[in-house]
Amino acid sequence: MGELAREILPISIEDEMRQSYLDYAMSVIVGRALPDARDGLKPVHRRVLFAMRELGNDWNKPYKKSARVVGDVIGKYHPHGDIAVYHTIVRMAQPFSMRYMLVDGQGNFGSVDGDNAAAMRYTEVRMDKIAHEMLADLEKETVDWVPNYDGTEQIPAVLPTKIPSLLVNGSSGIAVGMATNIPPHNLTEVINGCLALIDNPELSVDELMQFIPGPDFPTAGIINGRAGIIEAYRTGRGRIYMRARAEFEDIDKAGTRQQIVITELPYQLNKARLIEKIAELVKEKKLEGITELRDESDKDGMRVVIELRRGEVPEVILNNLYAQTQMQSVFGINNVALVDGRPRLLNLKDMLEVFVRHRREVVTRRTVYELRKARERGHILEGQAVALSNIDPVIELIKASPTPAEARERLLATAWESSAVAAMVERAGAESCRPEGLDEQYGMRDGRYYLSPEQAQAILELRLHRLTGLEHEKLLTEYQEILEQIGELIHILTSPERLLEVIREELEKVKADFGDERRTEIVASQVDLTIADLITEEERVVTISHGGYAKSQPLSAYNAQRRGGRGKAATGVKDEDFVEHLLVANSHATLLLFSSKGKVYWKRTFEIPEASRTARGRPLVNLLPLEEGERITAMLQVDLESLGQDEELLDEQDDSILEGELVALDETEESETEQEQEEAEEPTGAYVFMATAKGTVKKTPLSQFSRPRNSGLIALRLEEGDTLIAAAITDGAQDVMLFSDGGKVIRFNERKVRSMGRTARGVRGMRLLDEQQLISMLIPEPETQILTASEHGYGKRTVIEEFPVRGRGGQGVIAMVTNERNGKLVGAIQVLDGEEIMLISDQGTLVRTRVDEISSQSRNTQGVTLIKLGNEEKLVGLERVQEPYDVEDELDSAAESAELIDNPEIADVAGVEPTADDADSEE
């Protein structure tokens, strides 16, 4: 034997490493990191609760030092570090960690700010009331028991819980090669789900979700979207997006300043670190608009206050907080738990089925235990009833016996007569109170009753006061109750329906005692924040310069000025650059940018970089894939979401298909007659109506522009040397007005223009003289006036009724006199009383003025001064601003008088008579 003991056996290190690692992995998986699906507890939690029960550390008893509990746990049941066990106890006592606390703590148990709990020698604990429901009936052989780590104690392998703790309190742990992360849920909802599954075991996961809509976190908060919940409940894995709950409050009575108040946080978020992160973002200028940040949380609840700068939109700041901090975070659900000692990924129904199956086993084993005890008690009562019925012979027998053992033997050897007991046994059944394994020689036989050793011993131990008549009645009553109890227990064991009814009753009791309202709100919303969610919705001025620079500015940056004022510089003038296009658009709107080469590009307003009035902005070539020599010639504001996007993709094949729609301009002019145009009328719809500098117009369905493409799309096919000058969205039946730089206008109904594909060239809209060009296209609106302006700064308003509707393709009528004083017509817009306009010069000057201050005149007039221009400075454009007018108080009547002196020509021009030109005839 000695030689064998000293023998060294070589083994493969690969085999040894594999086996050792597997042993270690299974030890961690089964013994430490993963919860049992039946009671939802890891071994350490189970052992802590069992140790507190053994200590009598009940919810209605005095607190005990945490160190006492930790000592018992690590000394008897859990051979690991005391700090780890104490941290487990602390977490079970934290209201922000456990949805339903299992430990009632007294002292400092940490905070949501990440503060540590006090040392275990200071804090005190006891079981919470709900923890007793997890240990209920443990003494009734309801679960299996296993030896502790040194074999000196027996501990339960699982708790006979009445609480579906796996879902109610969740679990989190990292094992070897796997992990679990189960969110907490609302007890009322989970029990409702269990009851529904008991009533109908065929329920699907989706049907169970009617009872359990989603997780319910102890810190409340908001779950953003249901997609992750549905995925997790169906498959066992999913991602849910949690958000902090925030409210908006006014700081001042006027409501000009607001603050964001955070009252609830996502689960497991450290509040102190969140505040530090927000402060860091503000310091680094990554989060604008915040003036003060403070924590006002107290015993009444959480309150983190974020004061905002005056005029800031709180919704936008809040969206930025969601995007840049953990105020919106992801909870990755991974429902892994031990089922029959093996790790399994469970869906919602699996977890409920495991719990219901566990309850069925626990109630069955408890019933078997109670039945055995009831039969044992009934058997004793039966023997005592026999003794009381034969009290005198029994007393004589005992008195005559020299020893208790001999008295016992005589009691066993005697056949006793007991008619009362015989009648009771006959009614209840001969086997009702007969313990299992009792020899056949005992009990009723041949009309006589033979006592068993247990009954004989109980008779010998019977106290004399039990011999009274009252005690005799009590004994018989108790015996009758035992018989009824036995009947009920047998019914539970023999009837699956009654068994489930008992489980249901107990769950209903738990729900009534511990159920509460849901804390976490589930909202059906978009999970991902888009850039638009982070941008304040406001009106912005978008400008594109002649040199190809684009920028945007808030509309509020410009103050209204009187007609004839000098204005503010809208952009810096460098290398003779000037603003060529201006559009007032909502910051969330989509801009259709039409280029000189007949292509259209898409940009959101907020994607146009913001710059100061004196800055040039960003080159368009950095924003759009423009070709060499390609320039943006028109901007159009549109809401893509309202277009009803076409399901067909506009790929490269579209262009080749539409080649067949190309219309030769000259051929169209020759072939289309007035009658043919009338016959071309189409049903109304959504169209983009475009006009080019050479007088060509085209109408294309808006749906062909509803799918943005980074490289742009062909809007229309242009003749050589032609450019696109305007585009508008129409319904297919509106009037169109075309203005030329020669001061002419033509008005016709767009039904005279048939719908064409994107690559078609279009048809003639207005006949132009040599070197004349179209400068504006308008879609007339009811009750508006047409404001025209010339390059020398003059303009006027004219009522819409003065512009007659004529046929397409003519030269038109006079819109404004163009002479040496006025220069060419540079713009025409529609206006209403009370509105404002913006005027832009080629030197970068911008003037904002009220429409009401501009004279209303007939078509064939020269107009009044709109803007004072410097030497060699020309007006290049104007834009309608639909915003309430707000003028400074210092612009009083004295300023108006001074203005008239500075502009003496106003009085002269206002009354100019029509020229001798035939203004009303088409040339």
Whether the CB-CB separation of 829 and 883 falls below 8 Å is answered with no
- Does 122 participate in catalysis according to the annotation? yes
Catalytic residue among 63, 86, 100, 122: 122
**Count of positions (residues) in the chain:** 923
List Cβ neighbours of 613 (8 Å cut-off, separation of 6 or more). Answer: 553, 557, 568, 569, 570, 571, 572, 846
Whether the CB-CB separation of 262 and 245 falls below 8 Å is answered with yes
> In the structure encoding, which two tokens stand for residue 75, read together?
């000394």
Give Rg (Cα) of the chain.
45
The DSSP secondary-structure symbol of 33 reads I
The DSSP secondary-structure symbol of 805 reads B
d(CA 103, CA 63): 11
The DSSP secondary-structure symbol of 211 reads T
Closest CA to 98 of 183, 189, 222: 183
Residue with tokens 């050479």: 694
> In the structure encoding, which two tokens stand for residue 625, read together?
């894939």
d(CA 704, CA 716): 12
d(CA 871, CA 880): 26
Instruction: Give the 3-state DSSP-derived string for 625-694, with helices as H, strands as E and coil as C.
Output: CCCCCCCEEEEEEECHHHCCCCCCCCCHHHHHHHHHHCCCHHHHHHHCCHHHHHHCCCCCCCEEEEEECC
| 127-133-134 Cα angle (round to 5) | 80
What DSSP assignment string belongs to 545-573? Answer: ETTSEEEEEEGGGS--B-TT---EESS--
- Helix, strand, or coil (residue 601): strand
Strand boundaries in 245-392, DSSP class E: 245-250, 258-264, 290-295, 304-308, 328-334, 336-339, 342-345
Whether the CB-CB separation of 358 and 203 falls below 8 Å is answered with no
The DSSP secondary-structure symbol of 77 reads I
Which residues participate in catalysis according to the annotation? 122
